[in-house]
Structure 1
Amino acid sequence: MPKIFEWQGYRFYFYSNEGNPREPVHIHVRKGRDTAKFWIRPEISVAYNRGFSSNVLSQLIAVIEARAEEIERQWHDFFST
């Protein structure tokens, strides 16, 4: 489970096996028992949410938007795409 970065106790990561065929670029976020998945393209959007409030989701989207290039770069580096 490659960790991309942490922010205020939230862990941003993806799984080393992201499906076959591989899903499009996305990021998982976890803090405690709460977890969510966000698509990166065509725009940042919530794929699923288990436990985060709408306010927290908005904050996470802002963080992901600010770091989308980094997330995509690390995804492509890890999966050699």
Structure 2
Amino acid sequence: MAPTVVRVGSYRLFFFSREEPRMHVHVAHPHGEAKFWIQPDVALACHTGLSERELAEAQRIVTMHVQEIVHAWRQHFGG
């Protein structure tokens, strides 16, 4: 299960139900994907296929929606 948290243009932010416990979010885009750590600060964990511009936009979107991501994470996983 991969609940979608936010959609902005071509970017979809989501997380997998059965993955590592450290808070993070995945970002899917038609050109590739990225994973961002959420805490203690938003930081790129890994990516594939995205240009530097697309990565910067993905990080901007994650940062803009960080509170929504944290809330969705806690609702889905508890805590």
Tell me if TM exceeds 0.5.
yes
For 1:67-78, list aligned pairs within 5 A.
Answer: 67-78=65-76
Unaligned runs of 5+ in 1: none
Code of the aligned partner of 1:17: R
CA distance in 2, matches of 1:65, 1:10: 13
* Counterparts in 2 of 1:33 and 1:53: CA distance versus 1, 3 Å: closer
TM-score when normalising by structure 2: 0.90
Identity, % of aligned pairs? 29
Moved over 6 A (4+): none
- Deviation of 1:32 after TM superposition, in Å, equals 2.4
Quick one: higher RCO (CA 8 Å, sep 6+), 1 or 2?
Answer: 2
Confirm whether residue 26 of structure 1 aligns to residue 24 of structure 2. yes
Q: Report how many aligned residue pairs link the two structures.
A: 78
CA distance in 2, matches of 1:46, 1:63: 12
